[in-house]
Amino acid sequence: MTTFAPIFVPAALREAVADASWFAAMLDAERALARAEASVGAIPPDAAAAIEECCEPGRFDLAALCAEGRAVGNPAEPLVRALREHAGDAAPYVHFGATSQDVVDTAAMIVTRRAIALVADELAGAAAAAAELVAGHRSTPMAARTLLQQAVPTTFGAKAGGWLVGLVDARATLLGVALHAQLGGAAGTLAPLGDRGVEVLGAFARELGLAEPPVPWHTRRTQLAAIGSALQQVASACGKIGLDVVLLSQTEVGEVAEASGGGSSTMPHKRNPVGAVLARACARLVHANVAVLSEGEHEHERAAGAWQAEWTALSEALAHAGGAAAAARRSLTGLEVHGDRMRANMTADVYSERDRIGLQDVEYLGSAVAFADRALAHWRGAS
């Protein structure tokens, strides 16, 4: 994360994807591997116990391990060497049958799981704020806008209902992504484990609470693409809210205002929609990093560069998806809705369709109100 990360990403999410969290997750993977192998008789139980005792982050110099990883192009190899140094007589059984990518990929899934829970919490908060707006303004009339031009009347509740459903669906997609353990050894065959390899894979996945893949996925990166796609949906839902709030907050429009708008260093009169702005910025950073995760074409049994590029991209995409959700939540919480300005802004042409078919507002906007109510029902059903 950059120096500016606190502006965009909540502290808990920054911590969840930090280097220390990655290394802790790699140690979790090594611990689970030793347990799994002991459970099927692949290594002695006392060796597994000794390895487990060594898998404590406080035993290791994180900065030194990161520096050593540059020589070999990955962070797992120096960690495994250091773990063996601590393991004494159990050293030959450390990392037995595994490869560096097994440890890093599995750690990536552990980091992802922890981060997803935090992102989901932010999305739930944003959805609750959106639901309050929907319920409070289900029948507040305003101009719908197509191609940035006033079109026909709608209600603010219907508009916010679209935001709400986007948040609810993005959260469901994110929580529905299956996260698979990775264990295949040097070339995806688990050869040192002989005919116990598949059994160890299953035990390893269970130890970690991760899904068991049918085969190792070293160069089949649909797992990362699925995570990326879910994060894209989060970013799009939050970025959409940010864009709409920014447009509705313009001085010349003035139909909404954030409860805690930001100021300017030179223009004290300004009340900037900072939450909406940050939601948009974070969404863009998610989209940029997900492009790396979605590339997906890796060489033979081990990628040369594409795999290594994923680590930072995954951390950044997770962090900024959470940042987008937190910013959308900030923007929507207590959002001031100026119904009088909404009505005053509507030109006579906006009502032409209503007048042509001879309906009153309460009739003409009936479906818009119904859609606001349906959005609330969708949210309640998912909560």
pLDDT for 304 equals 93
Q: What is the chain's alpha carbon radius of gyration, rounded to the nearest angstrom? A: 26
Cβ atoms < 10 Å from Cβ of 19: 15
pLDDT means per 10 residues, the chain with 383 residues, are 87 97 98 98 97 96 94 96 96 98 98 98 98 98 95 96 98 98 96 96 98 97 97 98 98 94 58 94 98 91 94 97 98 97 90 77 87 97 90
270 Rama sector, left if φ>0, alpha if ψ -120 to 50, beta otherwise? beta
C-alpha distances out from residue 372 to 143, 153, 163, 164, 295, Å: 16, 14, 10, 9, 38
CA dihedral 246→262→277→15, nearest 10 degrees, is -150
Q: Which pTM was predicted?
A: 0.95
Instruction: Spell out the domains of the chain, with CATH numbers in brackets.
Output: 5-382 (1.20.200.10)
* pLDDT value, residue 261: 65
Give 272-291 pLDDT, tens digit per residue.
999 999 999 999 999 999 99
CA–CA separation, 72 and 100 (whole Å): 10
DSSP state of 302: S
Q: Which long-range contacts (CB under 8 A, 24 or more apart) does 5-8 make?
A: 5/319, 7/278, 8/278, 8/281, 8/282, 8/285, 8/319, 8/320, 8/323, 8/327
Please name which of 307, 253, 246, 296 lies closest in space to residue 273, comparing C-alpha atoms: 246
Q: How many helices (H) and strands (E) does the chain have?
A: 16, 4
pLDDT given at position 257? 96
Count of Cβ atoms closer than 10 Å to residue 274 Cβ = 17
Confidence (pLDDT) at 356? 75
pLDDT at 226: 97
How many Å apart are CA 365 and CA 351, to the nearest integer?
11
Give the separation between CA 127 and CA 146, rounded to whole angstroms: 25
Q: CB-based burial of residue 286 (10 Å sphere; 0-12 exposed, 13-18 middle, 19+ buried)?
A: buried
Chain CA centroid to CA 174, Å: 7
- Tell which phi-psi region holds residue 334, choosing left (phi > 0), alpha (psi between -120 and 50) or beta: left
The C-alpha atoms of residue 224 and residue 136 are separated, in whole angstroms, by 40
> What is d(CA 1, CA 7) in angstroms, rounded to the nearest whole number?
11
Indicate which residues carry an active-site annotation. 264, 302
For residues 86 and 61, the answer to whether their CB atoms sit within 8 Å is no
Structure tokens at 289: 């990093």
- 154: helix, strand or coil: strand
Residue 265's pLDDT is 47
Cβ 90 vs Cβ 293: under 8 Å: no
The pLDDT of residue 350 is 82
